[in-house]
Amino acid sequence: MKIIRKILGIIILLLDKLTSPRPEKISDVQRQRIIEKTQNLELFEFNACPFCVKVRRHMKKHNISIPLRDAKNDQQFREELANGGGKIKVPCLKISVNGEERWLYESDEIINYFEQNVLLG
């Protein structure tokens, strides 16, 4: 099963690389607004997870750049995800506001958060 997962992971990453979206052209003002609205965000992920790839592709297309936390290969991030979010499930968006943390799971919910709070808000 590990071999199959590894092969599928390689295929997912290769297809992502070959079909990666181009970032939309935006103004410097828009870029600065996105940077300001994403300062409190981190994405916990596994590199070859198809749902994580979906979120990263959306981020790239919309010029969203936030820290990516490899919860598969980095024990510190894995523990932070387990302790803060309550489970090791990716993708997971950590939202830190006024000293409080919110952990948002599910790729569609994360993309919706970006749409509503970063791109529109």
For the chain, the domains span 2-119
Tokens 């969203």 locate to 64
Contact between 121 and 101 under an 8 Å Cβ cutoff? The reply is no
pLDDT of res. 121: 59
For the structural domain made of 2-119, what CATH number should be given?
A: 3.40.30.10
**Cβ neighbours, 10 Å, residue 87:** 10
Tokens 């979906």 locate to 54
**How many whole angstroms from its chain centre is CA 23?**
16
Helix, strand, coil percentages, rounded to 5, for the chain: 55, 15, 30
The SS3 of residue 92 is strand
Higher pLDDT, 39 or 120: 39
The SS3 of residue 93 is strand
pLDDT of res. 81: 97
Residue 88: phi and psi, rounded to 5, are -95, 90
Residue type, 75: Q
| pLDDT tens-digit series, residues 78-97 | 999 999 999 999 999 999 99
